[in-house]
Amino acid sequence: MILIITCLYLYFKIVKKTLIKHKRILLPTLKNMYRIRLWPLGIAVIALIFGSCNVEKRSDAEQVAKAMLDRMTLEEKVGQMAQITLDVVGKGDSLFNSYEPFELDTAELREAIVDYHVGSVLNSSNNRARSLAAWNSIVSTIQNVAIAKTRLAIPVLYGIDAVHGANYTAEATLFPQQIGMAATWNDSLVQAIGSITAYETRASGIPWVFSPVLDLGADPRFPRQYEGFGEDPHLCSVLGVALVNGYQGASVSSPLKVAACAKHYLGYSAPSSGKDRTPAQLPNITLKEYHLPPFKAAVEAGVKTFMVNSGVINGLPVHASHYIITELLKEELGFEGVVVSDWNDIENLYRRDRVVATEKEAIGLAVNAGIDMAMIPYRYQDFCNQLVELVREGSVEESRIDDAVMRILKLKAELGLFERPTTVLGDYPKAGSEEFAKVSYQAAGESITLLKNSNGILPLSKDKRYKILVAGPNANSMRTLDGGWSYSWQGEKVEEFAGRYNTIFEAIKSKVPQSEVSYIPGVSYPAYGRYFEEQYDKFEESAAAARKADVIILCLGENSYAEKPGDLNDLYLGSKQLNLAEELAKTGKPIILVLNEGRPRVISPIEPMMAAVVQTYLPGSYGADALADILFGDINPSGRLPYTYPSYPNSTVVYYHKPAEEQKPNIGAYSYESDYNPQYPFGYGLSYTNFEYSQLTVNRSELKQNDTLTISVNVRNTGDRKGKDVVQLYTSDLVATITPDVKRLRKFAKIELAPGEAKTLTFKLVTSELAFVDSNDRLVVEPGEFIVSVGNLSTKFHIVN
């Protein structure tokens, strides 16, 4: 009895603050003490004291997770690994859709959260954006059930695709898609976009975003190219880290920040066919040299979660690859966060890929490979029941379950969900604000890329009275400006939500009210057709109006799409659009071609007929306003291509190709050559001013391993207007044991210069940054001669032993 009294005294004196701070964990334990006899109370309190004496350690997320894990049953652990889509717990006719207006089904919610202990929910219901108020109500109700109705009061982790802003929140700010962010070459701006997205996602009550996409956009056929940062590993790494830092900040426990998700690890964007979720053949040297660096950079930046490639590499689905998920990511790269599957991809192991015969085998294969959380997303009961069976049968070790659940609970603790499972909408007054809108407009303005400007036709004069014909299927559409993942998966609901923004035609008409601006499409997209369907729409009328116009602004490109539905069979721009361009060109009137597309569709048949070419990518809600300001000179374009724009469908070669891709003719009987012939090269973009590079210097001509090379270059604005330039530094390894790339981007900087102003830029390059993956899968830096180039300047240096 003395022991009990002493223990109680010590407990209340030492751990009072800890009890208050961690009441969601400790109070259920204390409550149970009153239900048992007195003699075990002393033992329980002693254990609690030893677990609580070190207050600082107990505040660590890992300690919180471990304390919770130790109290969980196997069924509760497995439930934490289950992620379901919102429609599963909504009132509706089936698992796959819900009634409108959306309401949670109390019975279904209780079954998922209370009976099966489901740890995560994702997505919007009915593939539709919701208001801030609706999101807060949905998430709060789910969390109330998790906290008040379950034994351990573990909060649910809600996740959402927020890939260019909080794109499933009706009032949110939508930015350029990631390919447009990449075209800005402005990492601080990309970080600001991430920060705003985090703010507006948290305003929606959601703490986890499935972004950034770190897949290389090296194949223009791929339907998800617009979701990434382009074809270069370094550009993708730098901007990926910027977006992660914007999302997560210094600490994800801040109610203004969210957990980021690096996806789709690994090699997802390189299927042999160019079509989504089809097999890829990628040797390890290719995976590690090009595809791995952005993900490695994200790990080093502290990204909290990873999502796995939905495809198949070298015959093995990545969701089944212990090497890629566990050995490479978790062990070699040291990733300590949560690995989540992609949508339905564990089931795909047996239904689509046929590497196992049953769903149960698929679950065991994926979990043993290293998947921590399964995006099921519908039949969670089967997943939970079968995973429990697998553990009890010994097919999956409970230690593997413990590792996965520790990672999940730790993330929930890091996000502060145990203390604040929900947010308060009133704490987010800036959501959808003008302040955030200005950042979206700036991003669009810095992304739009001027590719051709014959005879300086651009900018057009704001003061002149023009007769302007605006034509093409993308001229009067918000859907095409925002693209997929905008208010819905395929972007087909954009017009319902985006009426307050300007289309290209509306922005131009507003920009020059004194001019006669008419819109006659010539070609349009069917309202409910697939993305590639197009139809003639006042074709002859458009051609007649062109003959009367002073200038034609022809807006061509793609309708919105996302993922697999965006697969294509022909990289050329749609035939009816090409016909429209040719017909309008017959008038002899100058045509400004505005491209609005998720990937670079081939335009070589019509490009010579165009006086100017402007690439807008998918510029977001304020893209049309930024475009109008570029066309009429209020913004000096500064976007640069984040990919190589091909001239032909069979010439899709990246800039860092091997020497064999561009050979001069051989001498002798067997004379042949290989030409590298892009429409526009990677990193290319014009300005309304001119920049001159001079005085490229290196601080030494010879370097040893682990030395640092300092490179300086002078840049001067020689034009008559202020402008921004992207200074790009490349290196070329002249001889290597693995045939070297012709050049690689190593550093870049975006600068702004007034007319006549000059700046000297200094870059530091560590020799380890010149490493390549050799035939033994090792990163090596070999001695030899290198070229460093900036603009039209170059100089040499050597690495010696």
3 state SS for 220-248: CCCCCHHHCCCCCHHHHHHHHHHHHHHHH
DSSP string computed for 489-545: SSSTTHHHH-TTS--HHHHHHHH-TTSEEEE--EEE--TTS-TT--EEESHHHHHHH
In what helix (H) or strand (E) does residue 399 lie, and over which residues does it extend?
A: helix 398-414
Q: Which two tokens stand for residue 190?
A: 């990309």
Tell me the CA distances in angstroms from 333 to 104, 324, 327, 723, one per residue in order. 41, 11, 9, 40
Please give the DSSP secondary-structure letter assigned to residue 719: S
Q: What is the pLDDT, as a whole number, of residue 9?
A: 41
Name the burial class of residue 129, with classes exposed (0-12), middle (13-18) and buried (19+) by CB atoms within 10 angstroms of its CB: buried
Please name the residue that has the structure tokens 């070190």: 54
Q: Which two tokens stand for residue 61?
A: 């997320």
Q: What angle do CA 17, 19, 20 make, to 5 degrees?
A: 65
Q: Which two tokens stand for residue 187?
A: 């990492």
Cβ of 668: how many Cβ atoms within 10 Å? 6
Q: Residues 557, 596: contact at Cβ < 8 Å? A: yes
Q: Residues 405, 80: contact at Cβ < 8 Å? A: yes
Please give the DSSP secondary-structure letter assigned to residue 549: -
Of the candidates 506, 646, 527, which has an alpha carbon nearest to the alpha carbon of residue 218?
Answer: 646
Give the number of residues written for the chain. Answer: 801
Q: Residues 786, 796: contact at Cβ < 8 Å? A: yes
Residues of the chain with pLDDT under 70: 1-59
Q: What is the pLDDT, as a whole number, of residue 670?
A: 76
Q: Which two tokens stand for residue 38?
A: 């007195």
Of the candidates 640, 637, 736, which has an alpha carbon nearest to the alpha carbon of residue 685?
Answer: 640
Q: Which two tokens stand for residue 790?
A: 């900036």
Q: What is the pLDDT, as a whole number, of residue 668?
A: 80
Does the pTM of the predicted model rise above 0.85? yes
Contacts of 115 (CB under 8 A, 6+ apart): none
Q: Residues 450, 458: contact at Cβ < 8 Å? A: yes
- Cα(295)–Cα(422) distance, rounded to whole angstroms? 30
Query: What pLDDT digit, counting tens, does each position of 38-93 carry?
Result: 333 333 433 444 344 433 344 489 999 999 999 999 999 999 999 999 999 999 99
Q: Residues 638, 691: contact at Cβ < 8 Å? A: no
- Cα(219)–Cα(215) distance, rounded to whole angstroms? 11
- Cα(484)–Cα(226) distance, rounded to whole angstroms? 9
Please list the helix, strand and coil fractions of the chain in percent, rounded to the nearest 5, in that order: 40, 20, 45
Q: In what order do the strands lie in the sheet with 338-340?
A: 261-265, 305-308, 338-340
Q: Answer positive or negative: Cα dihedral of 284, 290, 296, 298.
A: negative
Q: In whole angstroms, what separates CA 261 from the centre of its chain? A: 9
- Cα(52)–Cα(18) distance, rounded to whole angstroms? 7
Half-sphere exposure of residue 85, counting CA atoms within 13 Å on the CB side?
21
DSSP three-state, residue 118:
coil
Identity of residue 412: K
Cβ of 80: how many Cβ atoms within 10 Å? 28
Q: Which two tokens stand for residue 121?
A: 């929910």
355-358: Cβ within 8 A, 24+ apart: 355/316, 355/317, 355/320
Please give the DSSP secondary-structure letter assigned to residue 315: T
In what helix (H) or strand (E) does residue 411 lie, and over which residues does it extend?
A: helix 398-414
| First CA to last CA distance, the chain | 75
- Cα(643)–Cα(651) distance, rounded to whole angstroms? 13
Of the candidates 355, 380, 379, which has an alpha carbon nearest to the alpha carbon of residue 368?
Answer: 355
Dihedral of the alpha carbons of 673, 679, 681, 682, in degrees to the nearest 10: -120
Q: What is the pLDDT, as a whole number, of residue 587?
A: 98
Cis preceding linkage at 459, omega within 30: yes
Q: In whole angstroms, what separates CA 161 from the centre of its chain? A: 9
- Cα(238)–Cα(729) distance, rounded to whole angstroms? 14
Of the candidates 509, 527, 600, which has an alpha carbon nearest to the alpha carbon of residue 557?
Answer: 600
Tell me the CA distances in angstroms from 108 to 103, 232, 696, one per residue in order. 11, 46, 67
Q: What is the pLDDT, as a whole number, of residue 42?
A: 39
Name the burial class of residue 205, with classes exposed (0-12), middle (13-18) and buried (19+) by CB atoms within 10 angstroms of its CB: buried
Q: Which two tokens stand for residue 321?
A: 């690859």
Q: Residues 775, 289: contact at Cβ < 8 Å? A: no
In what helix (H) or strand (E) does residue 10 lie, and over which residues does it extend?
A: helix 2-14
113-125 b/e with 16+ CB inside 10 Å = b? bbebbbbbbbbbb
DSSP string computed for 418-446: TT-SS--GGG-TTTT-HHHHHHHHHHHHH
Q: What is the pLDDT, as a whole number, of residue 493?
A: 97
Catalytic residues: 342
Q: Residues 184, 683: contact at Cβ < 8 Å? A: no
